[in-house]
Chains A and B, each alone.
Chain A
Amino acid sequence: EFRRFSLERSKPGKFEEFYGLLQHVHKIPNVDVLVGYTDIHGDLLPINNDDNYHKAVSTANPLLRIFIQRKEDADYSAFGTDTMTRKKNVLSNVLRPDNHKKKPHIVISMPQDFRPVSSIIDVDILPETHRRVRLYKYGTDKPLGFYIRDGSSVRVTPHGLEKVPGIFISRLVPGGLAQSTGLLAVNDEVLEVNGIEVSGKSLDQVTDMMIANSRNLIITVRPANQRNNVVRNSRTSGSSGQSTESSLPSSTPNILGNLLQGEEESDEEDIIIEDSGEPQQIPKAAPTSESIESLSQIELLHESTQNGFLPSTEMNLNHSAGSISMEYEVPEPGRKSLEEDGTIITL
């Protein structure tokens, strides 16, 4: 059934209020529902917090089409930034849910249950021809799944155009993390690994750097295909481009390197088994001046990811939650530690 009502665009209010309004309009006060809307590209996107609610309202043009489903028979796969053709199917699925027997195997609702697997970051500080991609290896069973090779690229130097050696992505493993993000492609030139330039480094060195950072890998590439680049200051580009106008403080790549260092301090806790007891994460020793510094950096970065997070990030369902039995509760920001359980096997 359809309802039509009006909202004040300049003062949309909070998501909670909007949710209440919807329940009221549909006269379903005690039913849990999933709220979605179609954006300007026709993609079906969820509304479940203030941020994406505001986004939805601001993009209404002038009509905002909202879809509401009961939570229990919601089809989660319907959401996403897919092509028009698929969206049609999605819409029909949504409109005729009885055709679609498949039940979601995990019930999710709030963004905490989503876990980023990749993101484009630092769009505002990088040249338009570059792309900085972050791959979140932790928590997924997927292999990182790509190969790099030596190659040469043409650079503009004070002496004119010069051919210089470079590192390129040579292959993506089907089904791997790198491929599934769609942000990396064969023949993309690798410029930086976690904020450190690779020029002058050998293929083996870059391999080692990437593997050493594999748990939180940030690579800056010059995509071979430059047609999908983010165009700045334009609201007409793709949704991901638009949304990555994130609130990251304008910073230099070097600062990124430091931020990452700081952040990594937290994501890589080793594990100790004392007297053959339970495995535990190794805590940090009493903070020294250095670690205070790094803590503040964590916060900074944490904030930035939160801001850039929902709109710009592709999301995957957290499959690992169900498949891994041994799991321990870790406070934020340690939610990255999920993969660390399977590894403790006392021989």
Chain B
Amino acid sequence: MRRFLRPGHDPVRERLKRDLFQFNKTVEHGFPHQPSALGYSPFLRLMAIGTRSGAIKLYGAPGVEFMGLHEENNTVMQIHFIPDQCQLVTLLDDNSLHLWSLKQHGGASELLEEHRFTLKGPPGSPPSATQVTAVLPHSSREVLYLGTESGNIFVVELPSFRVLEDRTITPEAVLQRIPEDNCNRRSCELVEALREHPKNPDQILIGYSRGLIVLWDLQNNKATHHFLGSQQLENLYWQRDGSKFISCHYDGSYTQWPVSSDNRQPEPLENTVPYGPFPCKAISKIYWQTTKNGLPYIIFQGGMPRASYGDRHSISVIHGSQQTAFDFTSRVIDFFIIFSSDPAAEFDDPSALVVLAEEELVVIDLKSAGWPAVHPPYLASLHCSAITCSHHVSNIPLKLWERIISAGSKQNIHYSSMPWPIDGGTNIAPDPPQRDLLLTGHEDGTVRFWDASGVCLHLLYKLSTVRVFLTDADPNDNMNTLGEDEWPPLRKVGTFDPYSDDPRLGIQKIYLCKYSGYLAVAGTAGQVLVMELNDEDAEHVVDHAEADLLQDQEGYRWKGHEKLKTRDGPVRFEAGFQPFVLVQCQPPAVVTSLALHSEWKLVAFGTSHGFGLFDHQQKRLVFVKCTLHPSDQLALEGPLSRVKSLKKSLRQSFRRIRRSRVSSRKRRGGSGNASEVQEANAKFDQDALQEMELAPVQRKIEARSAEDSFTGFVRTLYFADTFLRDSSRHCPSLWAGTNGGTVYAFCLRVPPAERRMDEPVRAEQAKEIQLMHRAPVVGILVLDGRSTPLPEPLEVAHDLSKSPDMQGSHQLLVVSEEQFKVFTLPKVSSKLKLKLTALEGCRVRKVTVANFGSCKTDDYSENDLAVLTNLGDIQIISLPFLKLQIRYPCIRKEDVSGIASCVFTKYGQGFYLISPSEFERFSLSTKWLVEPRCIVDMPEVTINNHVHNKAGTENAARKS
């Protein structure tokens, strides 16, 4: 950018820039991608989630969030909070242990890594000697017990991670203390579980993989009891009073064992196979929770009959005669129970079951009848159906906000009313300055409305467009209608459902007018719906129109999907946004651009064939314009042939992405499934690399011509009240920009309000601009006489914006992928330009006008363009002079889906997907910054707190 660094560096402007712009990635919304471990501290009431990429995230009360990242980017295998401390230990799949602390700094808490440690065996010993399989943070807070694959249990001091070698519990020492007839050296291979006695901190229960369980006295260094299980052991759990414990096994059984001083080798009290008698899958984790009424809760993961339900991801809850197997749509990573943490309490009295599945977090209220789910305030599964588009609306008027919330609350009646049980820490962030909505469109035809004002992205309301259409799936088909006496008693829980019945339902464009409550939604099969907010249920007919975008073009054949079939007759809609107009484009190609003008009551839509304007007041199509180039056969044939033609280049770019990943990735041991996937990936990488060496990647250098494909693809639509024909009279206008660098301007005649229903809206083409560089037009904007962008429809009517300057001459800004150009109006002459691609080799992907306020003075703000390029950089470009202000790297350029998903807000913030389930929030503004700021105080620790429950250590020994 030599151009901008040339003389004329204005120090005043430079200072102002510092007060206006600043780049921060502030918070990640949604559900962590590929979670791999879960931990919970009943003392701090914080939950921790670890991921396969080495991230660790802590959640407490809504707004309380911390994030840490292990440098190694290795999978987090286990997370254990240190009892009664603001500390936790993580175990990674490279066998390293990490100690993290929550420290207060500058009035807020921060999560910091303090120490790291890898257990080292004597020289020459195999790696399995020190491979950690079970971790037990002792309630003394001074030591960690580390069970290993070799059967040795090492003791390390905290926080220094110094190994106390004289305290190691070796298999030999254990075997000396128990009769030899039923044990041998092999019985003590691989420590599966370590559990501290709930009442006596000097005793720990050691479970070996082959079934031997030993109660070890730390004081006297000897085994006091041993228990001979016949089945391979999965996990252990103490009853609260320490008189019994329960073990669960590989064959799907669980066993209760008594612990008393008179019998050193007790027999099991009870051995149960809950889903027998046929072979069952392993029960990998079990809880035994006592209650006042005497009936315990037994909660366990797995154990389903192998043959018929072996593929289910279930957690069963048994309480007296009640039994439910909660059935999850994705693999269960781990779970924990929230129960009474008061050490003096006699019973556990569990209140909630918290399950981390691979794709969502599910919390079950165990106190209410029927065990309903609790609506989580955060960790929303954004991807319960794949996100296809997003739209952000800033500063929602209170009235609309309340109506959306009320519509949403009617959808959430099946949720429990229990307050969110994970409520540790205090949110000290200031209240969000305004109400913001993020709308996401999904593959299954739904639009989700998220409260994006603060740190917690919270689902307010879900809108489905499916009811308008006839689809194969019967909407009354309910997955949960299982008979009463069905066995096992499965119950589907959670919202994650990645399967779409019909991809044509997918939402592609959304436009919400926050003043009128009109919503336009457009989809994959050329459908455009206009909706209105209604606070009541209603049954009505949706007006239906067809827009033939090909008009009289002949000889073309659409080879893509068919249009969606509509329902005849009235349709019942629940309270919320209810469609009243449906326009279907013909051919039914995906809608590529959409604009709504709520004041003129017009909706404009564009596809790869052309664009149209619909009057949703009179329910009449005003005009259509075909933008096809006669030679562009591809656009007509539909998405199938397009895939074919792009296949090669897609394959190439895929390879390139793969290659860049392989270099950064590290080998992981991982569980069986994951390592298989990785092997397959590695093989693919290798193949791709070989192929690449044979044929190097080349790029063709060719000027764009009018004959290129998809030149008619409509990229942007824009309504403006401006001077299109002459400088004395302004009129409504519609602007459209295509992939081939053409801008069309139509002059509209909208009848005055009193005759709005009587006279038709008329449109006439007034201008057509062909950009000579022919790059796709991605943005069109009209600046008023003061060079301010024209306000949104109804913005002035609601006194939220100054009325535009209609005296001075207006200017037209056309943003293509390669250049920014300002033209005068009404006579189009070029005034200014910025040639981004020619100078920097990057192309514009997203562009929005954003308002930036100064952090120093309240009364200064300015409008600039926020631009995201194909390299993942964000640039801020001034208006109206098109000077580059500042540039920040934001998204990796290989992250194509991240770049495609980016959406800017009107006040210089933005969102983009960092995984299918997570939005990263960033801010370009010094003034508008939404980031977590919270504090975690140490709750008071009861003196001599040896007799506290140990839920903090509940996470011992998941199979690694």
Contacts and interface: CB of A to CB of B under 8 A. Distances in A.
B766 A274 contact: yes
Contacts of A208: 818, 837, 841-843, 870
A285 B698 contact: no
A214 B701 contact: yes
Contact of B703 (A144, A203, A254, A274): A144
Interface stretch (A8-16, A60-68, A113-121, A338-346): A338-346
A284 B830 contact: yes
Contact of A203 (B699, B702, B771): B699
A196 interface: yes
Interface string B803-846: 00000000000000010010110001111110101111111000
Interface string A320-347: 0000000000000000000010111111
B769 A270 contact: yes
Contacts of B399: none
Interface string B839-874: 111110000000000000000000000000011000
A201 interface: yes
A170 B698 contact: yes
Contacts of B838: 194, 209, 212-213, 264
Contact of B698 (A171, A202, A205, A257): A171
A177 B829 CA distance: 32
B841 A201 contact: yes
Interface in A193-222: 193-194, 196, 198, 201-215
B769 A282 contact: yes
Contacts of A264: 835, 838
A258 B832 CA distance: 16
Given A270-B821, A347-B626, A149 B843 contact: no
A299 interface: no
A282 B704 contact: no
B480 to A, nearest CB: 49
A150 B697 contact: yes
Interface string B607-646: 0000000000000000000111110000000000000000
A282 B830 contact: yes
B767 interface: yes
A204 B840 CA distance: 11
A284 B767 CA distance: 17
A131 interface: no
B766 to A, nearest CB: 6
Given A212-B837, A272-B767, A282-B829, A342 B701 contact: no
A261 interface: yes
Interface residue tally on B, bucketed by range: 35 or more
Interface string B330-347: 000000000000000000
Interface in B374-407: none
B546 to A, nearest CB: 21
Given A147-B699, A204-B699, A214-B703, A273 B767 contact: yes
Given A148-B698, A149-B697, A269 B830 contact: yes
A145 B702 CA distance: 6
A79 interface: no
B770 interface: yes
Given A137-B703, A213-B838, A343-B706, A261 B768 contact: no
Contacts of A283: 829-830
B867 to A, nearest CB: 15
A73 interface: no
Interface string B41-66: 00000000000000000000000000
Interface string B193-212: 00000000000000000000
Contacts of A203: 697, 699
Contacts of A206: 699, 841
A124 interface: no
B831 A285 contact: yes
A265 B626 CA distance: 32
B770 A344 contact: yes
B699 A148 contact: yes
Given A254-B2, A284-B830, A209 B769 contact: no
A95 to B, nearest CB: 42
Given A201-B841, A208-B841, A271-B769, A144 B702 contact: yes
A76 interface: no
A276 to B, nearest CB: 6
A174 interface: no
Contacts of A282: 769, 823, 828-830
Contact of A270 (B697, B770, B835, B840): B770
A1 interface: no
Contacts, number: 155
Nearest to B699: A207
Contact of A205 (B628, B700, B725, B842): B842
Contacts of A147: 698-701
Contacts of A261: 3, 835
A214 B704 contact: yes
Contacts of A272: 767-770, 828
Given A171-B698, A208-B843, A345 B837 contact: no
Given A149-B697, A204-B699, A215-B703, A268 B773 contact: yes
B179 interface: no
B703 A211 contact: yes
Nearest to B839: A196
Interface in A228-280: 254, 257-258, 261, 264-265, 268-276, 279
Contacts of B700: 146-147, 207
A170 B700 CA distance: 9
B773 A212 contact: yes
A209 B841 contact: yes
Interface string B675-708: 0000000000000000000001111111110100
Nearest to B551: A347
A143 interface: yes
A205 B824 CA distance: 31
Contacts of B770: 270-273, 279, 343-344
A164 B575 CA distance: 63
Contact of A275 (B766, B839, B841): B766
Contacts of A273: 767-770
B765 interface: yes
A149 B699 contact: yes
B824 A285 contact: yes
A211 B626 CA distance: 27
A151 B766 CA distance: 50
Contacts of B833: 265
Contacts of B828: 272, 274, 282
Contacts of A171: 698
B893 to A, nearest CB: 8
B772 interface: yes
Contact of B772 (A170, A198, A213, A270): A270
Interface in A266-307: 268-276, 279, 282-285, 288, 290
- From A214, A279, A340, name the one whose CB has the most chain B CB atoms within 10 angstroms: A214
B837 A276 contact: no
Contacts of B627: 347
A269 B829 CA distance: 10
17 contacts: A137-B703, A146-B700, A149-B696, A149-B697, A151-B696, A205-B840, A209-B840, A211-B704, A214-B701, A268-B773, A272-B828, A275-B765, A275-B767, A285-B824, A285-B830, A290-B832, A345-B630
Given A204-B870, A261-B835, A284-B831, 20 more contacts: A143-B702, A148-B698, A148-B699, A171-B698, A206-B841, A208-B818, A208-B870, A209-B841, A211-B704, A212-B818, A215-B773, A261-B3, A272-B769, A272-B828, A273-B767, A273-B769, A283-B829, A285-B823, A345-B629, A347-B626
Interface of A: 137, 143-151, 170-171, 178, 193-194, 196, 198, 201-215, 254, 257-258, 261, 264-265, 268-276, 279, 282-285, 288, 290, 340, 342-347
The 7 lowest CB-CB distance pairs between A and B, nearest first, are A205-B841, A214-B703, A212-B837, A207-B699, A209-B841, A285-B831, A273-B768
